[in-house]
Amino acid sequence: MCGIVGYIGEKQAAPILLQGLRRLEYRGYDSAGIAILDQGCIHRARSVGRIDNLIDAIGGKQFPGTMGIAHTRWATHGGVTEENAHPHSSCDGSLMLMHNGIIENYRDIKEKLGGEHVFRSETDSEVLAHLIEHHYQLLTGKEGDARLRLSVEAALSHVRGTYGLLVIHKDHPNCIIAARLGSPIAIGINLGEYFIASDPTPMLAHTKNVVFLDDGEIAAVTRSSLDTFTLKDEHIVKCVEQIDWNDEQAEKQGYPHFMLKEIFDQPTVFEDAIRGRYNLAEGTANLGGLNMTPTEMQRVSRIVLIACGTASYAAMVGKYAFERLAGIPTEVDVGSEFRYRDPIIDDRTLVFAISQSGETADTLAALREAKRKGAFVRGIVNVIGSTIARETDGGTYMHAGPELAVASTKAYTNMLAILLLYALQFGRQRRVSLATGQRLLGALREIPRKMQALFEQAPAIEALAKKYASYEHFLYLGRGINVPVALEGSHKLKEISYIHSEAYAAGEMKHGVNALLCPEFPVLAIMTKNQLYDKMRSNVEEVRARKSKVILLVNEGDEQAKELADDVLMVPPTMELLEPLLNTIPLQLFAYYIAVALDRDVDRPRNLAKSVTVE
Ligand code: F6R
């Protein structure tokens, strides 16, 4: 949450920073700010609202400098006001700071700094600017940019909490200081220029060579050098990593919203997720990132899938796959709960941390707890170089490309792809036959074509969404492997349309939820032809008997089912384990078109941000 971006080079910084902020807007979008250093002066602009408001705030003013920093905020401490927007400045305005994270002991620091400093915002972040100023004043004997770096290091030694931060100072016209603890910092390298950001997307148009700071590291970036240190001022050498995303992937490419583009990206990125990762002849997957010997794989007695939100619904599908294919007891735990009970973990437990952003604080904390207890911990992550990717002992990138809409779509289907491949890999080692493995892979290879065929229904789904957009409540039902699909469909609807929506295992209805049924509470039921079809059909009959409107998601050609429904969504048939890969897509489109019909801010829903780096 919160996006930070910095630039130092020969080009005018402001346009690069503003473009960078647009790429990071998914991380927070309640206010934004920018500071440019030019000829000994710092020009600052801040505004409440989106980047366009910031551009208006800059107005006709010239911001000519070639270095600067910018921020897009998701408020934690202090309301959404211009004073609380970043950058925050020291008392004398010489130093500007951008911060992503939370300073837990900010009140103590503020008290210690006492009457000597004037605080102008209600934020935790501002105290850092003053604390650095305080140490900067103490370090008068130090020469050059080292003085700024050392004062940041000294200040951070008093801080409890998390930060990704950028600092500039008017007396250091060739230096940006970046530091990280718990909030990501990526530094892009190009000839004579450096880009610093919360993730690599703002720099894709300029460079693919990136250094990722690890926790407890600080960087001094000039136009011609990048020096990295620990917070104890020991010099360290970092590896440069290659990012294989490209800038076009981070554009809307003619779609009205990123979410729609990302829904339509799914056939392509699904192919990217599975390409080269299976062996049809042997009917198995070969995900090398697992980093486990066959003996270690055999020893696994339990799998725990840790994730949050949409990723946790993907994990629920993974549970079905691991249990059915590999016969390994599998649990799904949401990251925010895992470490607050006493999870039973031992050296035969394999934990997967599943996350699009790779930065979700709860998932990260849970994986650290699992590691502490001796589990094998692997990641299923989308963002390259992200913290979860770096802190796991192996794992697999899901290759969904940049996902910029807050509502996750293509990352979800790619999580499913990877989970299914892992389940097959373990399954083939235990009990899945060659023929079953080959059949599953054959069906998996058919998925992109079937996804593509589904999109032909988009206009019909749009019409259906318009018909139902005025309802205030929705109920999603499924059974078996379609329970997580119902949960995900309902999740999508509420987060982007703000319509109240619930999701249940259809068999649970009679234990309480039936009381809600009435004509004003439409039900979207997933009734594809699998082993629970007849059971699901009975549950749908029960719903109809209580006069709720019914939208049925059924397989193409299921004419009989239509008699049960007010409206029908069709999906191509596939193997039961793969159904979520197809069944989720009409639900994504349904939620999307309802949100559009209600004129919601589809890509930037209220109160949310992608990449939830606070607990
Ligand atoms: C839903 C959504 C969130 C995320 C959740 C986990 O559309 O975007 O529920 O799925 O915050 O995020 P990652 O996958 O980045 O860990």
Contacts of 289 (CB under 8 A, 6+ apart): 378, 394, 395, 396, 397
Q: Which residues pair with 251 in a beta bridge?
A: none
pLDDT grade, residue 503 (50/70/90)? very high
The percent of residues in the chain predicted with pLDDT above 90, rounded, is 88
Ligand 1 atom closest to the Cα of residue 492 is 7
* 326 residue type, one letter: A
Ligand 1 mutation pick, 610, 611, 614, max ligand atoms within 8 A of CB: 610
The finding on whether 495 has its CB within 6 A of some atom of ligand 1 is yes
Render pLDDT for 4-33 as a digit per residue (tens, 0 to 9).
Answer: 999 999 999 999 999 999 999 888 888 999
Both tokens of 29, joined, read 């979008």
Nearest-atom index, ligand 1, CA of 415: 14
552 band by pLDDT with thresholds 50, 70 and 90: very high
Are the beta carbons of 128 and 97 closer than 8 angstroms? yes
Query: What is the average per-residue pLDDT within 514-531?
Result: 95
DSSP letter, residue 503: E
What DSSP line would sit under 359-424, residue for residue?
--HHHHHHHHHHHHTT-EEEEEESSTT-HHHHHSSSEEE-------SSS--HHHHHHHHHHHHHHH
- What tens digit of pLDDT does each residue of 207-225 get? 999 999 999 999 999 999 9
In angstroms, what is the span from residue 309 Cα to ligand 1's centroid?
5
- 359: CA distance to ligand 1 center in Å? 10
- 432 falls in which pLDDT band (50, 70, 90)? very high
Instruction: Provide mean pLDDT across the span 439-468.
Output: 98
How would residue 460 be classed by pLDDT, with cut points 50, 70 and 90? very high
pLDDT of residue 239: 95
Answer whether residue 609 shows pLDDT above 90.
no
Give the per-residue pLDDT at 318: 98
Domain 3-245 is classified in which CATH homologous superfamily? Aminohydrolase, N-terminal nucleophile (Ntn) domain (3.60.20.10)
Q: Does ligand 1 lie within 6 Å of residue 309's CB atom?
A: yes
User: What's the gap in Å between 311 CA and the centre of ligand 1?
Assistant: 6
The mean pLDDT value for 468-487 works out to 98
Active site (catalytic) residues: 2, 610
Determine if ligand 1 sits within 6 Å of the CB of residue 308. yes
Average confidence score pLDDT of the chain: 95
Asked if residue 439 has pLDDT above 90, the reply is yes
Average pLDDT for 282-297? 95
Phi, psi of 19 (to 5 degrees): -65, -40
Residue ranges covered by each domain of the chain? 3-245, 258-597
Domain 258-597 homologous superfamily, CATH: Glucose-6-phosphate isomerase like protein; domain 1 (3.40.50.10490)
Peptide bond preceding 294 in cis form (omega within 30 of 0): no
Concatenate the DSSP letters of all residues of 57-94 into one string.
Answer: HHTT-----SEEEEEEE--SSS-S-TTTSSPEE-TTS-
Closest CA to ligand 1's atom 9? 309
The length of the chain, given as a count of residues: 615
Q: Per residue in 33-89, pLDDT tens? A: 999 999 999 999 999 998 999 998 888 777 889 999 999 998 888 888 999 999 999
Say what the pLDDT of residue 562 is.
87
322-354: pLDDT as tens digits: 999 999 999 999 999 998 888 889 999 999 999
Phi-psi sector, 28: left (phi>0), alpha (psi -120 to 50), beta? left
Q: Which atom of ligand 1 is nearest to the CA of 309?
A: 9
Burial status of residue 608 (CB atoms within 10 A of its CB: 0-12, 13-18, 19 or more): middle
More confident residue, 497 or 64: 497
335 lines ligand 1 (CB under 6 A): no
